[in-house]
Chains A and B, each alone.
Chain A
Amino acid sequence: RKEVEQDPGPFNVPEGATVAFNCTYSNSASQSFFWYRQDCRKEPKLLMSVYSSGNEDGRFTAQLNRASQYISLLIRDSKLSDSATYLCYLYSNYQLIWGAGTKLIIKP
C-alpha cells in the first residue's frame, strides 16, 4: 500500500457546486496533516492545516479521521479560481510524505 493515496482526478465540477476529496495514509503515527494547492506550473502553497477536531476556513473544510486514516477537504460554492491540484502532506518523525494530488477543474 502506498504511504499516501489520492484520487488523481480530474474532478470536473460546475461552478457553485460542492466538491470533496480524500487522502488516505498508511502510517498511523502521522502527526501533522496539511492541504496544499498547486496551480499549473507553479509552486505548492499552503491551503490549510488539518486539525484533529476538523477546521474550516471560509468555503474550505478539512477533517481528519484517524480511525480510518484519511483526511478530507470539502470546498463549498466552488469558484473558477479553485481550479488547481490539491496535494495532501503528512509529517511524522522526519518522514515528509506528499500525495500526488487531486486535480480539480471548475467549469462555468
Chain B
Amino acid sequence: DTAVSQTPKYLVTQMGNDKSIKCEQNLGHDTMYWYKQDSKKFLKIMFSYNNKELIINETVPNRFSPKSPDKAHLNLHINSLELGDSAVYFCASSPRLAGGSEQETQYFGPGTRLLVL
C-alpha cells in the first residue's frame, strides 16, 4: 500500500528524446509536487498542483510539462532531453499547500533517476 509511487524508478535515455514520469498518491491529498534533486543534492521545486490546478510554476524550461488528470496523479513529460536534465526527480504530495505544519507536510515518492546520455 505505497503512499506515493513513481514510475519508472530508473530512466536512461539519449539526448533529444522525449520521456514521461508518472506519479500517483493514494493519501487523498489535494496538493502534489515535482522536485528535481541534482548532484549537489539541492531539492528544487519545479511545479505544484492543487486539485488538478497548477499553482506553482518555477523557472523551468518549457520542455518540462506537468499534467494532472485528477488530484491523485501528477505526471511529468520532458521533451528534447538534455544532458543537464540528468538528476533524481521526486514527486510528493501534501494534504494542502498551506494551512499549518500538518497540512503542509510533504510525503515523497521513491524518486526517478534520470540519466541522459
Contact = CB atoms under 8 A, between A and B. Distances in A.
Contacts of B44: 98
Contacts of A44: 43, 90, 106, 108
A49 B44 CA distance: 20
Nearest to A4: B42
Most buried by A among B100, B105, B107: B105
Given A43-B109, A43-B111, A45-B108, A96 B45 contact: yes
Contacts, number: 49
A82 B112 CA distance: 24
B98 interface: yes
A75 B50 CA distance: 35
A32 to B, nearest CB: 5
A11 B56 CA distance: 35
Interface of A, helix, strand, loop or mixed by DSSP: strand
Contact of B97 (A33, A87, A94): A94
Interface string A71-108: 00000000000000101010101101010110000000
Interface string B77-117: 00000000000001000000110111011111111000000
Contacts of A96: 33, 45, 48, 56
Interface of B, helix, strand, loop or mixed by DSSP: mixed
B27 interface: no
B105 A34 contact: yes
Contact of B90 (A34, A43, A91, A94): A43
Q: Which 7 A-B pairs have the closest CB atoms?
A: A43-B108, A49-B101, A98-B43, A96-B45, A100-B42, A32-B101, A32-B104
Interface of A: 31-34, 42-46, 49, 51, 85, 87, 89, 91, 93-94, 96, 98, 100-101
